[in-house]
Amino acid sequence: PMFDSMFDPMFDSMFDPMFDSIFDSMFYSMFDSKFDLMFDSIFDSMFYSMFDSKFDPMFDSMFDPMFDSIFDPMFDSIFDSMFYSMFD
């Protein structure tokens, strides 16, 4: 008990952080490289497919007419005049 109480705190304070950081980094780096990519790709594809299927048509239908009506005439007139002036 005496030795325990003497050495425990000393060892704890000395080795704990060191081992912690060593094992942590080993453990994390092992998991990081293996699982990060795996999870990344799993979540990415889940996330994208979720958003793709939900939002794509919605945004398409929302923005298309808006953009069409705003930019179409503008571009039309720009290209028209460019085109005509080039040929004129």
pLDDT in tens, 21-51: 666 666 666 555 665 666 666 666 666 665 5
pLDDT at 67: 61
* pLDDT band, very low/low/confident/very high, at 70 (cuts 50, 70, 90): low
Percent of the chain with pLDDT strictly greater than 70: 5
- What is this structure's pTM? 0.18
**For residues 69 and 65, what is the distance between their CA atoms, to the nearest angstrom?**
6
**Is pLDDT at 55 greater than 60 in this prediction?**
no
